[in-house]
Amino acid sequence: MLIKIDKRLRATQFRDRLAQAMRHGGLSQSALARAVGVDRSTISQLLTDEGARLPNAHVVGACAAALGVSADWLLSLSDRPESAAQLLSASLSLSEAPRALVDQQIFDWHREAAGYKIRHVPAALPDMLKTRAMLEWEYAPHLGRTADQAIGASEDRLNWMRSAQSDYEIAMPLSELDSFAHASGYYTGIPAALRREQIDRFLDLAEQLYPRLRIYLFDSRRLYSAPVTIFGPLLCVFYAGGHYLAFRDRDRIEVFSRHFDHLVREAALTARDLPGHLRRLRADVA
């Protein structure tokens, strides 16, 4: 809703905000005048004029650019002094996603969101629920001789995540667990004994940690989701293969939270249904 502000009040706020931005930026009237391309007397008048008139759009825009603030903020159309570019930079970040287990960036995000509900659509089976044998099968080919050390360090982080005071909701396609149980697709070549051990691990953790850990299975023929983690109200992070795309603005977080809610509402199997489904899959492992 657009809030109407009296012209005289808006002019007063413009003078106050212009002076505040100059103090914060350490710019004198002369320095700002040179940056804007006007006489020093013009800047002096902007700061002292008691009338209700505002400068023209060119002067306002030039002052905003020189001071590193938004023109909307100077004109009291926004409470955020940052420019649009600064707001976008702060709300959106791109960082490298190494082919590894719980890397430092992921761990830092989990620690930042400790105590909040964390919602997760994994790219494959959730790392935080995997056995050591499964981690070795999956990551040793990429990590080489450092695999054992990396897995040891990651196990400590995974244990911390499981014991943190956060609720976890995980949504994943039904087909992911089915492919794993039958060693097809991505999971081709996994020995039956390892698959049974991993399913037992899922069963143990799903029952031990419920309701703090809730896993929902959706039908990917009806629904789709890219790999994403929503860290409470703080941020949401998409996994794009080689990079993480992180959003921190609340509007986008709310959009993707609603997307996750839809996955949960439309889940083919709920968290309560999961143990029975896992037992059926385990019986099929050959």
Of 36, 277, 49, residue with least CA distance to 174: 277
- What's the rounded mean pLDDT across residues 221-242? 93
Give the single-character DSSP code of 2.
P
pLDDT number for residue 286: 81
Sheet containing strand 228-231, edge to edge, reads: 92-96, 243-247, 235-239, 228-231, 118-121, 168-173, 213-218
Q: From CA 262, how far away is CA 186, in angstroms rounded?
A: 26
Residue 175 has pLDDT above 60, yes or no: yes
| Alpha carbon distance 129, 199 (integer Å) | 10
Q: Which two tokens stand for residue 51?
A: 């009338």
Q: What is the pTM of this model?
A: 0.69
What CA–CA distance (Å, rounded) separates 120 from 228?
6
Report helix, strand or coil for 285: coil
Q: State the pLDDT confidence band at 144, using cuts at 50, 70 and 90.
A: low
Instruction: Say how far apart CA 209 and CA 80 lie, in whole Å.
Output: 42
Residue at 81: amino acid letter = P
Can you tell me the mean pLDDT for 233-245? Answer: 91
Residues whose CB falls within 8 Å of the CB of residue 152, separated by 6 or more in sequence, listed in order: none
Could you give the CA distance from residue 105 to residue 231 in angstroms, rounded to a whole number?
A: 13
Given a cut of 50, whether residue 268 has pLDDT beyond it is: yes
Higher-pLDDT residue of 185 and 90 is: 185
Percent pLDDT > 70 in the chain is: 90
Average pLDDT over residues 130-141: 86
Terminal-residue alpha carbon distance, the chain? 62
Tokens describing residue 238: 């998409």
CA atoms of 15 and 36, how far apart (whole Å): 16
CA angle 251, 101, 209 (to 5 degrees): 70
Range in 25-34, 49-58, 82-91 with the lowest mean pLDDT: 82-91
**Whole-angstrom distance, CA of residue 53 vs CA of residue 210:** 63
Per-residue confidence (pLDDT) for residue 1, from 0 to 100: 41
**Is pLDDT above 50 for 172?**
yes
Lookup: tokens for 26 = 């350490």
CB 211 within 8 A of CB 272: no
What DSSP line would sit under 204-254, residue for residue?
HHHHHHTTTEEEEEE-TTT----SEEEETTTEEEEE-SSEEEEE--HHHHH
- Mean pLDDT to the nearest integer, 125-152: 80
Q: Which residues touch 100 (CB under 8 Å, ≥6 apart)?
A: 139, 142, 143, 150, 154
- How sure is the predictor about 279, in pLDDT bands with cuts at 50, 70 and 90? very high
Stronger pLDDT, 263 or 54, i.e. the higher one: 263
